[in-house]
Structure 1
Amino acid sequence: ARGVIWGCSYKRSTLIVCSINIVVALYVLRSLYASLYLYSNSDFNKVVKYTPDQVRKMEESIRIRRAKEPIELVKIVRELKEEFSRGEMVAGLPKEVMNRITDEILQRLRSLNSNANISEQRDAIESWRKEKLQEVKQLVHGTGGLNSSILKQEAGMLERALESDWAVLSENIGLWVPAEIIHQEHNDKPEDEEEPEEEVLPGRPLSPECHAELHT
C-alpha cells in the first residue's frame, strides 16, 4: 500500500512541477512580447513629423545650396584628375617601350622626302599611330603575330595611350609638330567698288640744266 501511495505522490509532484514550469515560461514569453511592443511603439513615437511649411523650407534650402555649388570648379578639378590619371598611365610604360616608340616615329619621319611639309609629317605620324594601335589591339586580343616587339602585359597600357592619351604620350616622348600656318590674303574691298587708277603725283620742276636737248 505504501508503494502505491509513494508512486501516486511522485507522479503528482512531477505534474505540479511541470505545470509550474509551463506557467513560468508563459509569463516570461508574455513579458518579452510586452517589452518588444513597448519598444517598437516608443521608436514609432520618436519619428519626427514635419509640417508642409518645414518641408518647403528644407526643399528651398537644398535648392539654394545646389545653386551655389561651384560647378565650373568641380568640372575643372574632375578634368585635372582625369588628366593626372592619364599621365600616370602613360608614365607607367617602361622606358624601353617609350624609346622604341620614339625610334619608330623618327624612322617614319626620315622616310619622307627632305622637302616634306608639316602636313605630310603629321599624316605620316598619324599613319604610324593607327598601324601601331592595330598591332597592339591584335596583341591584346591574342590575334597578333609572334614577331611583335611589344610584350602582352605592356600592350594594354600602350593601347590606351595610343587611342585616348595620344597627346600625353606625345608630350612624354618629346614629339611636337608645329601647326601649319596657312596664309590667306583677305580682301575687304566691296565687290562693286572699282580699282582706283594710279595717279602720278607732281614733283618738283626740273632745273634748266636737266632738260634734254637735241644735239647735231
Structure 2
Amino acid sequence: MTGSAPHGGRRRRSSAPHRAGLSSRDSLAGGEPSAASDADQHEAARAIVLRQLAASAKSRRQLEEKLAARDIPAGVAHEVLDRFEEVNLVDDRAFAAMFVRSRAETRRLSRSALRRELSQRGITGDLAEEALAQRSDEDEARDAHELVRKKLPAQVDPGDRKEYEKLTRRLVSMLGRKGYPPGTAFAVVKAELSAPGSVTDTDGAAADTMGAEVWDTP
C-alpha cells in the first residue's frame, strides 16, 4: 500500500534527549535537552545539572537559575536538586568553603567582597560566615600589601607631587575594588610607598594630605 510507513519502521521517541538526537550522557558533552512530559522534565533537569557541575562547582541557587532559564518547572527543579543534595553532588557548605579559598587565593578579595559574592550565589547567614572564618585580619592585611607591591612602578619621583598623588589614588582605588575599606587601603598604600627600598622613601606626606574623595576616583 503506497504512502504508508512500513511495518516496524522507525518511531518517534518521546523523551527530550532522544528527540534532540542525544542521550543523557551525550547531552553533557553537547547541547542541553528541552523538557516536555513530566518524566522528560526530570530527565532534562538531571542532565542540565550534571552538565553544569561537570563544568564547575556551583551553589544550589546557581543551579536553580540555570534550570529556570531552561524552562524547567520549579517543582521539578526542587525535586531534582534535593536528590543531588542527598548524594552530596550539591553541597552549599562545601561550595562556600571552596569558593572563599579559591577567590582569596586568585583575586586576594577582602571578606567584605567575598561575602557579597557568596550572597549573589545564594550563600548567606551562618553558612557564609562559616566559610569566611577561614580568612583572618592578618590574611587580609598580607594580601592587601601584596596587591599594592605588585602594582608599584619601578620608580616614582617623590618630588613630583602630582605623579605621587596619582599613584596613590590608583592604588587606593584598586584596593577598593577588591573590597578593602578606605581606611585600610590608605594605610596600606602609605606604608608601601614609605617602606625602605620602595619606589620612594618619603614619609608618605602626599598620601596623608589626600582627602576621602580619592576613594571615588576611577
TM-score range, shorter chain: under 0.3
The alignment's TM-score, normalised by the length of structure 1, stands at 0.27
Alignment TM-score, normalising by the size of structure 2: 0.27
* Structure with greater Cα Rg: 1
